[in-house]
Structure 1
Amino acid sequence: MEALFIFIAKSSGLLMLFYFAYYFLLRKDTFFNSNRWFLLAGLISSIVLPLIIYTKIVWVDPTPVASFSQFTNYPQMNAPQSVAIESFTINWDYVMFAVYVIGFIAFLIKFGIDFYSLNLVLKGKKVQQQADFKFVDINENIAPFSYFDYIVYNSSMYSASELENIVEHEKVHSEQNHTIDVLISRVFCVLFWFNPIMWLYKKAILQNLEFIADSEAAKKISDKKAYQYTLLKITTHESCVAITNHFYQSLIKKRIVMLNKNQSKKWNYLKFYAIIPALVAFVLIFQIETIAQEKKEIKEVSEKKQEIDIYKIKKSTTDQELKEITEKLKQNHNVEVVISEVKRNSDNELTAIKVDIEQGTGEAQTIQIEGNNPIKSCGIIVTTDNGRKKINVVTDGAIDKPIVIENRTFETKVTQSNDVAGLAPTPPTPPTPPAFPTGPMPTPPVPDLSGLPKPPTPPVNHNDKAAMKKFEKEMADFEKKMEAFEPDMSAYEKEVDEIMEKRSAIFDKEMEKYEIAMESFNSDMEKYNQYMEQQYGANSQQYRTDMKLYDVNMKQHAQEMKQYEKEMKQREKEMKQQEKEMKNREKKSKQS
C-alpha cells in the first residue's frame, strides 16, 4: 500500500514539473508540434521514471555482538508487567485507498459514457468516404469534431466557405492523429483524478492541439481573416462529444492571438532543455536507494583447474599430421615424442605404429601396435592439474600384453570399447533443413497496376445534376473495364496457386525427411552427452567445450528454421499484396 502511495506521489510531482515548465517557458512560443511531444513525454515520464530505481550498496563494518557476560553484571530486579489495552484505530491508508478507488471507478464510468455518447452520434449516419477521411453530416446541433479519420459536422449551420474552413481544421486533427493525445490525456485524468494539475495538463494538451490545427489549416486557406471570423461566429453550442477534437473551444481569443503571432526565434528551443536538470535531480534524490551491508571476511579458496589436451591418432592420420602432433607436444607441454615403425596398407591406412614418450622428469611411456589390419584409434592424453602434467597413452585393445623396452618404465591402458578411453568421439552433426523450391513465377496481367483503369473522381457538389450524371457515366465505363480485367486476373491466380501447391508438396516431403533426421540427431546427441559426462564429468573442460559446440549447432538450427519461416511469410505476403491492391482498387471504386 505504501509503495502505491509513493508511486502516485512521485508521478504527481513529475506531472507538476512538466506542466509548470510548459506554462512558464513554452506556452507562448509557436513551436506547437514540439510542445505536443514535450507534453506527451511528460505523461510517459511520470509513469516510467518512478519505476526506475538504482540500488547503491554501502559497506559498513559489522556491528559487534555483546557477550552474555555483559548482561550478567547487572542485578536482576522484578520489573512491573504492563497489560496491553485494545483500542479501535482507523487505518487511514485503507481509507485513502478506498477513496481513490471510488473516484477511479467513477471517472472510468464517465469515460465509458463518453464513448457511448460518441457511438450514438455516429450510429446510423451516412458516411461519405473521400481519400483518407470519412465525412459524417448530422442534423444535431453539435460542435464539429474529428475522431481518428471521422470528421463530423452539421452543414446546415454554416456557409460553404465556413464549412471549408472547418473541414480543413478537422483534417489536420485527423492526419496528425490528435485523437490519440486526447485519449491518453483522458486516461491519465482517470488515473490521477485527485490531482488538479492533471486536469490543467489535459487542458494544455487540448489547447496546443487546437493551435497546431489552426496553424496548419491557415497555411492551406487563402483568406486568413475569413478563418478567424469562422472562429468568432459561434462560440457556444448545445453539446459536444468529450473524447473528440472540437472545432469550437472556450479559448477562441487565444487561438486568434496565436494565429497572428510571429514565429518564435530558434534560440527559444533551448527552453526545452531546461527540464533535463530537474529530471536528473529527481532521479538523484528520489530514485537512488541506498542499502547498507555488513562487510564479511572473504577467504580465498584455490579452485583446482584441470585441463585436458588430446592428440588422437587414427588409421587415416597422415605422416604430416603425425609430425605436427610431435611438434605440438614439444611446444605446448615440453614432451619428447618419437613416432617410428610406421606401416601402411595399400589404402594408405595405418597398420602398425610405435610411439615413444619421454617427459622432462625422466618418466617414459611406449605404445606399439602391429598387425595386418588397419589400427583402431589410439592417442596421447596430457592432463594438467594445478600445473602438474600427467601423460597417458591409450589404445582400443590392439595390444595383447604390455611391452618392455630396455630399462625404461611405461604405462599402457587397454580398453575393449569402440572409443578410445579418454578420447571423445566426434559429436554428431545436425542435418541441414531443406530450402523451399524456387523458380520462375508467371507474370501478372498488370505487374505494377499502372495499366489498371482508374476510378473517376466524384464531384464536390452532389446537387450538381450535370456533374453527377457525368460521374455516373464514367463509373459505368470504369466497372466495365474492371469486369473485362477480372478473367485474366483469375487465370493468373489459379496458375500461381497450382505452382505453389506443387512446390509445397515437394517441400513437405523434404521436411518429413528432415524431421526424421533431426530425431536421429537428437538421439545421437543424447548418447554423446551421456558418454561425455560419464567420461569427463559435467565440470570438465572438454565436456563444457563440447556442450558449447552443441549449443552453437542448435542455435544455428533455430536460425535456419526462423529464416525458413521468414521466407515462407515473405512469399505469402507477396502473393497477398497483389490481391490486396486489386481489392482496394475495386473497393475504392465502389465507395466512390
Structure 2
Amino acid sequence: MEAIFIYIAKSSGLIILFYCAYYFLLGKETFFNSNRWFLLSGLVTSVVMPFFVYTKIIWIDPVTVPNLKYSQSFIPQTIPQESFEINWNYILISIYCIGFIALLIKFAADFYSLNSVLKGKKIQQQADFKFVDISENIAPFSYFDYIVYNSSMYTTAELENIIEHEKVHSDQNHTVDVLISRFFCVLFWFNPIIWLYKKAILQNLEFIADKEAAKKISNKKAYQYTLLKITTHENCVAITNHFYQSLIKKRIVMLNKNQSKKRNYWKYYAILPALVAFILLFQIKTIAQEKNETKKVSERNQSVDVYKIKNTTTDAELKEITKKLKEIHHVDIEISEVKRNSNNQLTAIKVDIEKGTGQDQTIQIEGNEPIKSCGIVIATENGSRKINLVTDGGIDKPMVIGNRIVEVSETSSPDKISTISTITLPVPPTPPAFPTGPMPQAPAADMSKMPKPPVPPANPKDKVAMSKFEKEMAEFERKMESFEPDMSAYEKQIEEIMSKREAIFEKEMEKYEIAMEKFNVAMEKFTEEIQEKYGKNSEEYEINMKQYEKDMKAYEKNMKLQEKEMKKLEKENKRS
C-alpha cells in the first residue's frame, strides 16, 4: 500500500515539474511542435522514472551482540488493550478508486457520444481523410482521419479555413495526444496540475493547427474572423480535436507572433538539472550490508548477579546471602521479622538494603501462606552498580534491567542465580541540527532616495508617449544601478555563509544516514533474536516492540521538528 502512494506522489511531482517548466519557460515561445513533444515526454517520464531506482550499498562493520551473563529484568507490566484505529490508507485508496472509476465511466460515455454522432452518417473519402457532413449544431472536429462539420452553418471560405485547420489535426495524429492527456486526467484526477497540463496540451495542438493552416490560406485575416465566429458554438465532442476552443484571443495572438529565436532552445534543457536532482533525492536507495570479515566479539564489562530467596531458604542460607553481598558487592543488608509455618516454610520476611547510602530499599512480606520467590538483583556495568529488589515470583520470569532482557537460570549454588543471555535494544542516532549563527546586517541604504519607476502610457500605440516612457525607463535604470553594488555584496555574503553551513550540515547528515543504516541492521537482529527466543506472539516481544515503536515515534517527532526549524531558518534567510 505504501509503495502505491509513493509511486503516485513521485509521478505527480514529475508532472508538476514538467508543467512548471512549460508554463514559465516555454509557454510564450512559438516552438509549437517542440512543445508538443516536450509535454508528451513529461507524461511518459512521470510514469516510467519512478520505477528506476539505483541501489547504493554501504558496507558497515558487523554489529556484534556481546556474549554476556545477563538479560532484562522483566518487572511485570500490563499491556494496554488495543483500541480501534482508522486505517487512513484504505480510506484514501477508496476515495481514489471512486474518482478513478467515475472518470473512467465518463471517458467511456464520451466514446459512446462520439459513436452516436458518426453512426449512420454519409462518409466522403478524399485522399487520406474521411469527411462527414452532419446536421447537428456541433463545432467542427477531427478524430483520427475523420473530419466532421456542418456545412450549412458556414460560408464556402469559412468552411475551407475550418477544413484546412482540421486536416492538420488529422494529418499529425493529434487525437493521440488528446486521448493520452485524457487518460492521465483519469489516472491522476486528484492532482489539479494534471488538468492544467491537459489544457496546455490541447491549447498547443491548436497553435500547431493554426500555424500550419495559415500557411495554406491566402487571406490570414479571414481565418482569424473564422476563429471568432466559431466561438459562438459551445457544443463539442470531448475526446476530439474540435475547432472551437476557449482562449481564442491567445490563439490569435500566437498566430500573429513573430517566430521565437533559436537561441531560446536552451529552455528545453533547463528541465535536466531538475530531473537529476529528482533522481539524487528520491531514486537512490541506500542499503547497508555487513562486511564478510569475521571479528572477535569482545565482552563488555557487565555482570548481573541475582540472589534468590525461596520459601524453603533456611536461616543459614539467609546469612550466607548477607555475607556474600558484603564480600563481593560491598552491599550491607539486614534480614529481619522472619516467620515460618509448621513446615518450616517462610511466611514473612523483611529485607533492608544499604540504609543511608542513597540506594535504600526495603521489601517486606507478611501473611500466613508460604511466600513466593523474591530476591536481590545487582547489575554492574563499567563500574556503575544498580540494585533492584524483585518480589511476587517475578524473579522466576524474564526481567527488565535497563534496556536488556535478562533471563535467569539456577547454578550449582542454591543461593545465587546468574543471568545467561542479554538482548540489548538498539538506540536510534540523534539527527544533526542545521548550523545557526549571526547573519550580516543588510546595507543601510537610504530607501527614500530610491527612484520611482515610470508609469507606462495607457495607449501603447501612442508613439510620442511610448518614446517618453522609454527615456524615463532608461533614466530609472541608470539611477537604480547605484543601489546594486551594496545589495550584490550583501547577497554574496549571505550565499557564502549559507553555503558553508550547508556543507557542514550535509557532512553531518551523511554520518547520520550511515548511523541510521547501522541502527536498522541492529534492529533487524534484535527483532530476530526476540522472535527466536520468546516467539513472535510472546508478551516479551510485544512489550519490547511497543517500546521500539514509542522510540521511533519520538525519533519521527524530532525529525519533524528539525524540518520545521529548517523551513523557519530558510524563511528568515529569504526575509533577510
TM-score (norm 1): 0.49
Residue 42 of structure 2 is aligned to residue 3 of structure 1: no
SS of equivalent to 1:231: helix
Q: Is the 8 A contact 1:58 1:291 kept in 2?
A: yes
For residues 15 and 46 of structure 1, the distance between their equivalents in structure 2, rounded to whole angstroms, comes to: 6
Letter in 1 for 2:130: K
List runs of 5+ in structure 1 lacking aligned partners. Answer: 300-592
- Please tell me whether residue 40 in structure 1 is matched to residue 40 in structure 2: yes
Please point out which of 156, 161, 166 is paired with 1:170. Answer: 166
SS in 2 for 1:106: helix
Q: Residues of 2 paired with 1:264 and 1:174: CA distance?
A: 26
Specify the alignment match of 1:233 in structure 2.
229
Query: Is residue 2:139 matched to residue 1:152?
Result: no
SS in 1 for 2:82: coil
| CA distance, structure 1, for counterparts of residue 269 and residue 101 of structure 2 | 37
Deviation (angstroms), 1:66: 1.8
Higher gyration radius (CA) = 1
Distance 2:82 2:233 in 1: 61
Does residue 105 in structure 1 map to residue 93 in structure 2?
no
Separation in 1 of the partners of 2:233 and 2:103? Answer: 24
CA distance in 2, matches of 1:238, 1:36: 26
Q: Which residue in 1 is equivalent to 2:135?
A: 139
Q: What residue is the counterpart of 2:281 in the other structure?
A: 285
**1:463: which partner in 2?**
none
Distance in structure 2 (CA, Å) of the matches to 1:298 and 1:167: 79
Q: Which amino acid aligns with 1:17?
A: L
Instruction: Within 5 Å, give how 1:119-518 maps onto structure 2.
Output: 119-297=115-293
Q: Distance in 2 between matches of 1:66 and 1:296?
A: 18
Q: Distance between the aligned counterparts of 1:30 and 1:259, measured in 2? A: 9
CA distance in 1, matches of 2:91, 2:233: 41
1:56 is displaced (CA, Å) by 0.6
Matched AA of 1:218: A
Cα distance in 2 for partners of 1:208, 1:250 equals 12
Deviation at 1:298, TM superposition (A): 7.9
Supply the AA of the counterpart residue of 2:256.
N
Task: Please report how far the alpha carbon of residue 116 of structure 1 lies from its aligned counterpart in structure 2 after TM superposition.
Answer: 0.2
Q: For structure 2, list consecutive stretches of 5 or more residues without a partner in the other structure.
A: 296-576
- Report deviation, 1:238: 4.4
Question: Helix, strand or coil: the match of 2:270?
Answer: helix
Q: Counterpart amino acid of 1:289?
A: K
Q: In structure 2, what is the Cα distance between the partners aligned to 1:270 and 1:230?
A: 35
Shift of 1:87: 1.3
How many Å separate the matches in 1 of 2:162 and 2:230?
Answer: 12
* TM score, norm. by length of structure 2: 0.50
**Is the CA contact (8 Å cut-off) linking 2:230 and 2:243 kept in structure 1?**
no
Q: Which structure 1 residue ranges, 4+ long, deviate > 3 Å from structure 2?
A: none
> How far 1:233 sits from its partner (Å)?
1.3
Cα distance, 1:273–1:238 mapped onto 2, change above 3 Å: closer
**What is the SS of the residue equivalent to 2:25?**
helix
1: CA distance between counterparts of 2:294 and 2:77?
Answer: 45
Deviation of 1:245 (Å)? 0.3
Residue 15 of structure 2: aligned partner: 15
CA apart distance, 1:45: 0.3
Cα distance in structure 2, aligned partners of 1:197 and 1:279:
18
Question: Do 2:121 and 2:132's aligned partners in 1 also have CA atoms closer than 8 Å?
Answer: yes
Say if 1:104 and 1:191, in contact at 8 Å, map to a contact too: yes
Equivalent residues, number: 295
Contact 1:143 1:247 (C-alpha < 8 Å) held by counterparts: yes
SS at match of 1:102: helix
The alignment's C-alpha RMSD in Å is: 1.3
| Secondary structure of 1:29 counterpart | coil
Query: For residue 60 of structure 2, what is the aligned residue in structure 1?
Result: 60
Aligned AA (1:62): P
Distance in 1 (alpha carbons) for counterparts of 2:220 and 2:294: 79
Aligned match of 2:30: 30
For 1:109, give the aligned amino acid.
Answer: I
What is the CA deviation profile of residues 398-438 of structure 1, one whole-angstrom value per residue up to 9, with x for unaligned ones? xxxxxxxxxxxxxxxxxxxxxxxxxxxxxxxxxxxxxxxxx
In structure 1, C-alpha distance between the alignment counterparts of 2:232 and 2:149, rounded to whole Å: 15
C-alpha contact (below 8 Å) 1:141/1:238 kept by paired residues: no
Deviation per residue, 1:482-535 (Å, 9 max, x gap)? xxxxxxxxxxxxxxxxxxxxxxxxxxxxxxxxxxxxxxxxxxxxxxxxxxxxxx
Tell me the distance in 2 between the aligned counterparts of 1:37 and 1:19: 13
Q: What percentage of residue pairs aligned between the two structures are identical?
A: 77
| In 2, Cα distance between equivalents of 1:240 and 1:68 | 80
Which amino acid in 2 is paired with 1:46? S
Aligned-partner residue type, residue 97 of structure 2: V
1:86 matches 2:101? no
Return the structure number with greater relative CO, CA threshold 8 A, min gap 6: 2
Partner in structure 1 of residue 114 of structure 2: 118
Distance in 2, Cα, partners of 1:66 & 1:108:
60
Equivalent-residue separation in structure 1 for 2:247 and 2:241 (angstroms): 13
CA distance in 2 between partners of 1:298 and 1:67 (Å) = 16
The residue type paired with residue 64 of structure 1 is T
Q: For 1:312-370, what per-residue CA distance to the aligned partner results, in whole angstroms no more than 9, with x for missing partners?
A: xxxxxxxxxxxxxxxxxxxxxxxxxxxxxxxxxxxxxxxxxxxxxxxxxxxxxxxxxxx
Q: Secondary structure at the match of 1:197?
A: helix
Distance 1:42 1:32 in 2: 15
Q: Distance in 2 between matches of 1:130 and 1:238?
A: 28
Letter in 2 for 1:179: T
Q: CA deviation at 1:236?
A: 3.0
